[in-house]
Structure 1
Amino acid sequence: MFRYMITLFRSRSWCRPVPRSGRLTLETNAMGTSQHWRTLATVLTTTVLAATLIGASAPPPEPTTPPLTYSAVSASAPAASASVSAGVDLTTSRAALKTLRAPTPTISGAAAVGTKLTAKPGTWTSGTSLSYRWSAEGRAISGATRSSFTPTTAQQGKRITVQVTGKRSGYTTASKTSAATLKVARSSTPKISGSATTGKALSASVGTWTSSTSFSYQWRANGTAIKGATSRTYKISSAHQGKRISVQVTGKRSGHTTLTRTSASTAAVKSPAPVKKPTSVKITSSTFHCPKGYPVKGNANSGIYHVPSGAYYKATKPEECFATTAGARNAGYRASKR
């Protein structure tokens, strides 16, 4: 629509078109009689009437009418030409954005090097798109923008948080940050050394953990805790023959995540091989007797061996005693003739 300027003086008034600037201005001569501020409706009505009186015609309405602006400019009236102008702002404000339902996220998983952490964002307003940003001690971690994150040695000893940002058209963008984890701890899978044989001792080595970590141990047989087996070493009981042994190591340090790691299992526990009995024993003392289990006397000077039933058996001081006569013969001795 056309915009018109109405200038009112004491004696006369007239209208003139003004550019389509979005402003409608009422000017009053400072020397004239006092004029009352008019409402926007009054100004528009006066404008149309004045335009009709002077034969002005209004053009067809525009497809989109620019917003009208209301403004007031005042000045002192040192001279007769001083004037006061006023206008009205008809700009329509946008509808207020809605507020997203934005719960505080949580983190699941142990804060440890090599262990995956997962962000749990909670229930946001339906249709909200979420983005993630992981941080260590408040500093954003480069590239950590997915819903899960696996700490490396670069984050060892630091607390981890995740910020979840939600966006949806027509809603105010919202960001929520989780509580911090405990400090990221480092751990290793323990290893077992030693033979998986009854009566033998096994030892656990913990590997590389966060410095100043304290350890506790629990030995297991086929996955079941062995009562009392809580030291770094374990002597295998015959009760566990045929079972596989493993050790569980738990590491603790103040302010850090407590971690538990379990070793690989040993082979099935076996019995020790039978001790092979020697065929002979050397005699170093001056005696006429052979030890139990070695009844055959061997005389090294003569190269003759004597059996208990022989005539010279009791009178012979042995230098070597044998378990069997075959053992004596294999050692180079010959049988006594009597």
Structure 2
Amino acid sequence: MGNSLHWRTITSVLTTTVLAAALLGASAPPPEPTTPPLSPSVFSAPAPTTSAPAAVQLASAPASSAVSTGSAAAPGVAVTSSRSTAKTLRAPTPRISGAAAVGTRLTASPGTWTSGTSLSYRWHADGKAISGGYRSTFTPTTAHQGKRITVQVTGKRAGYATASKTSAATLKVARSSAPKISGSATTGKTLSASVGTWTWATSFSYQWRANGTTIKGATSRTYKVASAHKGKRISVVVTGKKSGHTTVTRTSATTATVKSPAPAAKPTRVKVTSSSFNCPKGYPVKGNADSGIYHVPSGAFYSRTKPEECFTTAAAAKSAGYRASKR
């Protein structure tokens, strides 16, 4: 009977061990016993009364004692991570407005980023960072002639991953000058346009204007001022084009107000080809070419002199080489 009691006790312990293993994960085998195999003498030994077997202790232990961060988990126990990831900024591709020309300002339009994002700018020429190019605007110099310009916009905001976007490249930077007008702003006179210094091999077109209004048909480098533009100011618009470069349009300063030409100065002498003894109106002084003497209306021989030349004044006759009559 004593052996039967011992056997029931051992059977109860083994059953408890199996249940504990099922709690930890049915897929894992029960732990290896830490005691030597039972021998027949065990059946005669008194039943254990002090502490539960190791398997029972393991089953009653809290789950936290079996799992730790960074160590392998027991079978069937899930491990979660508390690490958070940064949010993504709304970051559109920036655009450049303005003509890519020496001396002409370019402006970066960043688009609409996530609210609260701080933006910074970096300008490049043919992919190389431009010294001092940190503003939202940039004006190319002659050092950038023939290069393509881009701008990189970088956005930062707490809790978000920093983002950078780069614009499309401009056409090559062109060099140009404001044209100048030479000539007299007088009706009937011809004006000329000089273009100044542009990118080599640039082709030009011209358009003349009067008080800012296009003059129909005036598309050459020169322009003959029409009488219809009297009282107006003339300017010329020059457009330069070169393949791969930005097309540039420049306008000259205006001329002075267009005037009519000054009346031609009245000649001081006229030749007389008729046999008349009279001079034309306005030329009262008679000149005798054979004697080289001139006669004034109050002279003794005036009415009897047939002139070859007539003069406006006695001074004009003297300038022509004549001497005064003594009578």
Establish whether TM, by shorter chain, passes 0.5: yes
1:270/1:47 CA distance change after superposition, 3 Å: closer
Identity of aligned residues (%): 66
**Structure-2 residue corresponding to 1:180:** 169
Whole-Å separation in 1 of the counterparts to 2:294 and 2:65:
152
Number of the residue aligned with 2:213: 224
The amino acid across from 1:69 in the alignment is G
SS of alignment partner, residue 193 of structure 2 = strand
> Which residue of 2 is the match for residue 45 of structure 1?
62
Q: Match for 1:45: what amino acid?
A: P
Change in CA separation of 1:273 and 1:142 when aligned onto 2, cut-off 3 Å: same
Q: Which sections of structure 2, spanning at least 5 residues, go unmatched? A: 1-30, 36-54
Call closer, same or farther: CA 1:328–1:152 in 2, change over 3 Å. Answer: closer
Residue 305 of structure 1 corresponds to 295
Structure 2: distance between partners of 1:216 and 1:141: 33
Using the alignment, how far apart are the partners of 2:318 and 2:193 within structure 1?
49
Q: CA deviation at 1:264?
A: 0.8
Aligned partner of 2:22 in structure 1 is: none
Residue of 20, 28, 34 corresponding to 1:11: 34
> What residue is the counterpart of 1:120 in the other structure?
109
| Cα shift at 1:69 | 2.0
What's the CA shift for 1:158? 0.9
AA aligned to 1:211 is W
SS in 1 for 2:261: coil
Greater Cα shift, 294-303 or 131-140: 294-303
Note if contact 1:279-1:323 (Cα within 8 Å) is conserved in structure 2: yes
Paired residue for 1:100, among 89, 106, 111? 89
8 Å Cα contact 2:206/2:239 also seen in 1: yes
1:295 to partner: Cα distance:
7.0
CA contact (8 A) 1:188 1:261 kept: yes
* 1:306 and 1:336 in contact (8 A); partners too: no
Partner of 1:159: 148
Equivalent residue of 1:192, what SS?
strand
**Aligned residue runs from structure 1 range 290-301, under 5 A:** 297-300=286-289, 301=291
| Higher alpha-carbon deviation: 95-104 or 293-302 | 293-302
User: Would the aligned equivalents of 1:190 and 1:204 in 2 still touch at CA under 8 Å?
Assistant: yes
Give the drift of 1:287: 7.5
The alpha-carbon distance between structure 1 residues 330 and 113, as it changes in their structure 2 partners (threshold 3 A), is closer
Cα 1:46–1:278, aligned 2, differ >3 Å: closer, same or farther? closer
Shift of residue 201, structure 1, vs aligned partner: 1.2
Judge conservation of contact 2:286–2:302 (CA < 8 Å) in 1.
Answer: no
Contact preservation (8 Å) 2:269, 2:310: yes
Task: Output the TM-score relative to the length of structure 1.
Answer: 0.68
Aligned residues: 269
- Letter of the 2:293 counterpart: G
Quick one: structure 1 residues 324 and 47, their matched pair in 2 at CA, closer, same or farther if it must change by over 3 Å? closer
Q: Is the aligned partner of 1:143 residue 2:116?
A: no
Counterpart contact for 1:119–1:148, Cα < 8 Å:
yes
Q: Provide the C-alpha distance between the structure 1 equivalents of 2:63 and 2:96, rounded to a whole number of angstroms.
A: 68
Deviations 1:92-142 (Å, cap 9, x if unpaired)? 342122111111111111111111111111111111111111111112112
Cα separation, partners in 2 of 1:47 and 1:173, compared to 1, 3 Å: closer
Give, in whole Å, the separation in 1 of the partners of 2:64 and 2:254.
97
Letter in 1 for 2:238: V
Contact 1:306 1:313 in 2 (8 A): no
Letter in 1 for 2:70: T
State the 1:229 CA deviation: 1.2
CA spacing shift, 1:274–1:90, aligned 2, 3 Å: same
Match of 1:279 in 2: 268
CA distance in 1, matches of 2:61, 2:326: 151
The amino acid of 1:152's aligned partner reads: T
Partner SS, residue 165 of structure 2: strand
1:193 aligns with 2:182: yes
**1:220-277 Cα distance to aligned partner (Å, 9 max, x none):** 1111111111111111111111111111111111111111111111111122222111
- Counterpart Cα distance in 1 of 2:101 and 2:61: 73
Match of 2:123 in 1: 134
Structure 2 counterpart of 1:235: 224
Cα distance, 1:304 vs structure 2: 4.0
Contact 2:239–2:248 (8 Å) recurs in 1:
yes
C-alpha distance in 2 between matches for 1:106 and 1:151: 16
- The 8 Å contact of residues 148 and 171 in structure 2, kept in 1 or not, is answered as yes
Does the residue aligned with 1:154 lie in a helix, a strand or coil?
A: helix
- Structure 1 residue ranges without an equivalent (≥5): 1-7, 13-35, 50-66, 73-84
- The TM-score, its normalising length taken from structure 2, stands at 0.70
> Take 2:102 and 2:194, find their aligned partners in 1: how far apart are those partners?
19
CA–CA distance in 2 between the matches of 1:117 and 1:43? 75
Q: Secondary structure at the match of 2:124?
A: strand
Structure number with bigger Rg: 2
Q: Which has the higher strand share?
A: 1
